[in-house]
Amino acid sequence: MTNTRSLVLTLPLSIVVLLAACSRQPSNAQNSAEDSKVDSAPANYNEKYIGVWADENYQYPIQRSEIEWKEMLSDKEFHILREEGTERAFTSPLNNVKEEGVFYSAATGQPLFLSNTKFKSGTGWPSFYEPIRKDAVVLKEDNRYGMTRIEVVDSSSGSHLGHVFPDGPKPTGLRYCMNGASLIFVAKDEEPPALVKEYLEDNPDEKPSL
């Protein structure tokens, strides 16, 4: 009984520690002090962050039932993309990607980030200083767990990607802290998976040029 009670009391603390880790500023070993020196309390969200601000009435073009999402995604992808979960830090192989290419939504195949905007944040999650285009991501204020953060979802389906923080490098001063399991990386000249191909066929104006 004592062990069970200890586990229950420990779980909420573990969640807070995990979230705090994602919220911490990038190491100055990765970014110069000058590059990391950014106002952490912007007066106007709309001017500070790159993305489309949305409320609960925002209409996403790709609509599926949660049963359909569960059938097409792995358990880990479903937990992160549809249940707003967070993967453990330093577990994604996308942390180490250095090749030229594009990062797509693992939910829809939508282009989200170019590899040349990726930087080593030291946080343990793939990090980017801007999305591929402003309307590629939707931003929402997230007040869960006793803190205020800016949630990032893909604009095609509203699937959770991660959060954005105002402590990134130049030129934007932003850090899009993304879950690796929410992304698909396709290197330049590599054949994209069917999910990406289908999305780009339906949305040819979003096809990235490298």
C-alpha 152/C-alpha 150 separation (Å) is 7
Encoded amino acid at 1, one letter: M
State whether residue 173 is helix, strand or coil: coil
The sign of the CA dihedral 10, 11, 16, 18 is positive
**Annotated catalytic residue: which of 139, 177, 181, 200?**
177
Contact 164, 49 (CB under 8 A): yes
Contact 95, 125 (CB under 8 A): yes
Residue whose pair of structure tokens reads 């604009």 in the numeric block: 155
Specify whether 22 is catalytic.
no
From residue 29, give the alpha-carbon distance in Å to each of 92, 99, 192: 21, 22, 34
Nearest partner of 130 among 188, 175, 182, judged by Cα: 175
Longest Cα–Cα distance of the chain, Å, equals 59
Radius of gyration (C-alpha) of the chain in whole angstroms: 17
From residue 154, give the alpha-carbon distance in Å to each of 81, 118, 128, 178: 9, 17, 14, 11
Q: Which residues are catalytic?
A: 177
